Structure 1
Amino acid sequence: MDSKRLLVKTSNRNTDITQSIEDDPLIDGPLIARNALESAIKREFQKLPTNWGAITLTVLHVAYVSVCVALAALCWLTDTHSAECTAALNGVDSRSLVLLLKVGLWLLVFLFERCVQYHHSAVRRRGYLRFYRKTAKLKHLPLLIHSAGNAAVLIVIAPASMLDNKVKNLSVYLLLAVICVELLASVICLMVYAVQVSRFNKQSLGPDITEDERSHTFSGTDSDMHAEMGFRDGSSLEEVVEKQADLIEYLKQHNTQLSKRILTLATQQTHNRD
């Protein structure tokens, strides 16, 4: 009987201690208002400005092709305006001008690709992993198309004299064909990219994990709870591991920023009390 009473007393003491710990957490610590914390954590949606770069690059590419067609029609395919073309270009060879403009256009595409990569990396860090993966290959296509177009232009221009000996102005027609095909492929890629970015900016959604939690809360079903993270038929293990790595990296950054903001708010409230 004495042992039972002793066990009852010790259990009561343990429960009293646990209850006191649970009822009074962080008594001496500053209490942070929920509204203040949510307002500090909530981020404003940041739009991507790269769609305007894609549109500008498309306009410049169309202008370049128009200049090439005009030079070909006035200076290359006919001999009547050759002297006028030389005078208008201040003695610069028209084909050299086309090549210089082509190099300048490629540099603009390269700078655009670097700018897109920078902004998309920032989008990835903010938790928009689906959009990042959706445009991962599309954002590199314009530079690849222009690089392939440069190689094709060099292949056509290098044996230009030999081609023209076989068929008159064959190199000019091949050059125009390469430039037009390059324009068509580049414009399609840039317009598709611009539409996707504009749609992303218009939706102004939160990070993927936030939208998933919100959709699961409203739907009340758990059928698609881990659809993006699980391994399914037809999905590669490498892709699943990469998705998990991206999500873990985002959660780490989010937790770090959250901890810093909580400490900042706690410090502010401590100073206000003092």
Structure 2
Amino acid sequence: MESREPHLYTPAGTVADLSHSQEEDPLVDEPLIPDCALQSAIRREFQAVPTPCHAGLLSLLHVTYVVLSMCLAVLCVLKAGQEELCSSILGDVNGESAILFGKVCLWVLVALFTGFAQRHHSRTRIKGYLRFYRRMQALKHLPLAVHSTGNVLLLVVLAARLSPTVRTYMLLGIIGLELLAGLPCLICYTVKVMQFNRDQPAPDVSQEEHSHDIDITHVPTETGFREGSSLEEVMEKQADLIEYLKQHNSLLSKRLLNLTAQH
């Protein structure tokens, strides 16, 4: 008669699974990173857009150019009795040529500013601020468009056979219209970028996640292709999401390393 002996061993993998469950379940159940800590870490890594100072300086130069151009036009081109003073300042260059040279220099400065702003706004798009990038896309190009349009009008005026007095008044009128159209664009751009730098918002994806937590009826943003949406828009949204997730994972890794070092 065979005696039944108790099993002295357990099936393979049982002890390992038990220890594995005891070690890892608390890590899974407990939140490793509070949302407030993650948001504060993202806010600390916020990089401000450094273009408001350049936009303000460009606005000041634009106003200075218009004022000096009017003075040159009145004193040197329209012959207000200051021919000797104009000759001592400008030399062999007449007043109209000096105004046109200044116009070309101002256009170059505006073009350089536009490229500089585009570079920094592209960085904000990579950082996850796609809505801000799109909102400022047209505004930061408007000053260059205004000055380029003014250049075309100046070429038309110079090509037309007008009397010197009429041509001077047309020149001043175009410069004045450029100031009225371009200066408000620069001021509006400066105000919006300064507000963005002051608020230091979280990336768009993070804001959407926060809004989902507050309002469960909120419809999530579509990142796939839908009818009526352009392929470029879909790719920009996907790039924004991928870049944000990379930053999110980097912050998670840093937090995990800190927790591991503490324990």
TM-score surpassing 0.5? yes
Does residue 82 of the first structure (1) align with residue 83 of the second (2)? yes
Once the two structures are TM-superposed, the CA of residue 229 in structure 1 deviates from its matched residue by 3.9
Q: What 5-or-longer segments of structure 1 have no aligned partner? A: 1-9, 27-32
Mark the CA change 1:138 to 1:242 in structure 2 (over 3 Å): closer, same or farther. farther
SS of alignment partner, residue 49 of structure 1: coil
Does residue 209 of the first structure (1) align with residue 208 of the second (2)? no
Distance in 2 separating the partners of 1:175 and 1:94 = 12
Structure 2 length as normaliser, TM-score? 0.77
Aligned to 1:174: 170
Does residue 192 of the first structure (1) align with residue 151 of the second (2)? no
Q: Aligned ranges for residues 28-67 of structure 1 at < 5 Å?
A: 41-44=41-44, 45-67=46-68
Distance in 2 separating the partners of 1:83 and 1:77 = 14
**Counterpart of 1:148 in structure 2: which amino acid?**
T
Aligned to 2:162: 163
Distance in 1 separating the partners of 2:104 and 2:230 = 41
- Preserved contact between residue 77 and residue 94 of structure 2 (Cα < 8 Å): no
| CA offsets 1:201-257 (integer angstroms, 9 cap, x no match) | 2222111111222222233x232322x647788x53335413423323423542564
**Counterpart of 1:242 in structure 2: which amino acid?**
M
Aligned to 2:112: 111
Once the two structures are TM-superposed, the CA of residue 130 in structure 1 deviates from its matched residue by 0.9
Once the two structures are TM-superposed, the CA of residue 78 in structure 1 deviates from its matched residue by 2.8
Does residue 236 of the first structure (1) align with residue 199 of the second (2)? no
Once the two structures are TM-superposed, the CA of residue 101 in structure 1 deviates from its matched residue by 1.2
Distance in 2 separating the partners of 1:249 and 1:103 = 42
Structure 1 length as normaliser, TM-score? 0.75
- Preserved contact between residue 229 and residue 244 of structure 1 (Cα < 8 Å): yes
| CA offsets 1:3-58 (integer angstroms, 9 cap, x no match) | xxxxxxx9x977776554333349xxxxxx858x9599544232222122212111
Aligned to 1:247: 240
Distance in 2 separating the partners of 1:252 and 1:98 = 52
- Preserved contact between residue 74 and residue 85 of structure 1 (Cα < 8 Å): yes
Distance in 2 separating the partners of 1:21 and 1:111 = 60
**Counterpart of 1:191 in structure 2: which amino acid?**
I
Distance in 1 separating the partners of 2:133 and 2:166 = 43
Distance in 2 separating the partners of 1:211 and 1:251 = 11
Distance in 2 separating the partners of 1:13 and 1:214 = 45
Q: What 5-or-longer segments of structure 2 have no aligned partner? A: 1-9, 26-31
| CA offsets 1:117-160 (integer angstroms, 9 cap, x no match) | 1211121122111101111121112112212222222222244x
SS of alignment partner, residue 135 of structure 1: helix
**Counterpart of 1:130 in structure 2: which amino acid?**
R
| CA offsets 1:81-131 (integer angstroms, 9 cap, x no match) | 233312232333222211221121112112211221121112112211110
Aligned to 1:3: none
Does residue 224 of the first structure (1) align with residue 219 of the second (2)? yes
Aligned to 1:7: none
**Counterpart of 2:217 in structure 1: which amino acid?**
D
The share of aligned pairs that are identical, in percent, is 36
Aligned to 1:139: 140
**Counterpart of 1:212 in structure 2: which amino acid?**
E
Mark the CA change 1:202 to 1:245 in structure 2 (over 3 Å): closer, same or farther. same
Distance in 1 separating the partners of 2:119 and 2:182 = 21
Aligned to 2:96: 95
Distance in 1 separating the partners of 2:252 and 2:200 = 25
